[in-house]
Every structure is written in structure tokens, then in C-alpha cells.
Amino acid sequence: AAAAALGLLPLGKTQSPESLLDIAAREVAEKWPFQRVEERFERIPEPVQRRIVYWSFPRSEREIYMYSSFNTGAEDPAATGGAA
């Protein structure tokens, strides 16, 4: 009720608290690429790896569209010097 009053949750909705694993994995995923995490630490437990990878993917439709439509120009004949 207090969270709803503060505007953190929609009225009438309750949530269970996030696990410390999810909170930490989300923070890591927001700040560092997974490859860098793998290079930096020798042993990362598999459940931790899975949650970091999960949080590494975009959440909003706009971000998903932006990443899915990314084009390096390699398919563009003009970009590679080929004939159009």
C-alpha cells in the first residue's frame, strides 16, 4: 500500500520483491557488456550468467526495433564498392 501511495506500483497491484540476484544482474548488465564481465572474472556461477544475459537484452519495443534494424552497411553494394 505504501509503494502504491508513492506511485511505485499501480493501485490494486502487488508485487513480490526482486531477488538480490536479479537486482545485481540488472545493474551489471546496464553498465558492462557481458563479454567484459566474462573476461574480468574467472568463475561466474551459471545462474548469475543467465540473469546477466537476460537483463542484457532490450526491454522496450523502441529499443528492440533499434537493435533489430541495425545495419552495418555490409549488405549495401554502394558501401562495399560494388555496382548498384
For the chain (84 residues), the mean pLDDT of every run of 10, in chain order, is 54 78 94 91 92 87 78 54 50
- pLDDT at residue 84 in the model: 45
- Structural domain for 28, as ranges: 20-69
Whether the model clears a pTM of 0.75, i.e. scores above it, the answer is: no
DSSP per position, 29-64: HHHS-HHHHHHH-S---HHHHHHHHHHHS--SHHHH
Contact 73, 79 (CB under 8 A): yes
pLDDT digits 0-9 by tens, 42-58? 899 999 999 999 998 87
- Domains in the chain, number: 1
Alpha carbon of 57 to those of 35, 38, 40, 60, 64: distances in Å? 14, 17, 20, 10, 8
Asked if residue 80 is part of any domain, the answer here is: no
Between CA 28 and CA 83 the distance in angstroms is 45
- pLDDT at residue 64 in the model: 79
Asked if residue 76 is part of any domain, the answer here is: no
Asked if residue 5 is part of any domain, the answer here is: no
